[in-house]
Chain A
């Protein structure tokens, strides 16, 4: 059974760094790509970036200078780090997996439950 679960601090101070973990089960990170998507309260969805099954990454250019995604395949974990947080980074952060690992099949069939991160002093 495919599962993804995000974890991390619920509250981050402005200008600090956010560190989130997506722990997956039921599949290998060497076979599937994992994406990060965020959603500010009451607003829409924003794709943040992806770590490919190969280990390569691609980021949303709007966040690229602040964002880093990595993984530990042996622990089935994907990591998101984003620095210089501001109040507008307050959002629910989701990790999501594609249906297959086939290039171009980049829709999100499996989602974590999401974790709400509030940026506030």
Chain B
């Protein structure tokens, strides 16, 4: 199974700050056939279902604000949230869909400082 390791596990921020969440996979998620990275990011607020933010490591889902930026390739990926807003306080998960079983990182909890 591909193991997804996220860091940090929690992050305390003030509104307006830029934050970076890291996700590392135990094997490359870059498929040579199409040069795409099989990685997605989700946001989950308390009591809600996860919401898709990013797929192909850097493609924003329709309707997701452009302050959410996904980057990285191979085994190392980053979700950057610029100018954090109160509504962004949530848990963020990375997920690989390169191979089954599809696996998630343990999550990064974004909290208010």
Contact = CB atoms under 8 A, between A and B. Distances in A.
A58 B49 contact: no
Contacts, number: 54
Interface stretch (B12-20, B78-86, B99-107): B99-107
A108 B50 contact: yes
A50 B99 CA distance: 12
B106 A44 contact: yes
A35 B55 CA distance: 17
Contacts of B97: 104, 106-107
**Chain B: interface secondary structure?**
loop
* A46, A62, A94, A106 interface centre (most CB from chain B within 10 Å): A106
A113 B93 contact: no
Given A44-B93, A45-B93, A106 B102 contact: yes
Nearest to B97: A106
A61 B50 contact: no
A111 B50 contact: yes
Interface of B: 1, 31, 38, 40, 42, 49-52, 55, 61, 93, 95, 97, 100-107
Interface of A: 35, 44-47, 50, 58, 60-62, 94, 99, 104-109, 111-114
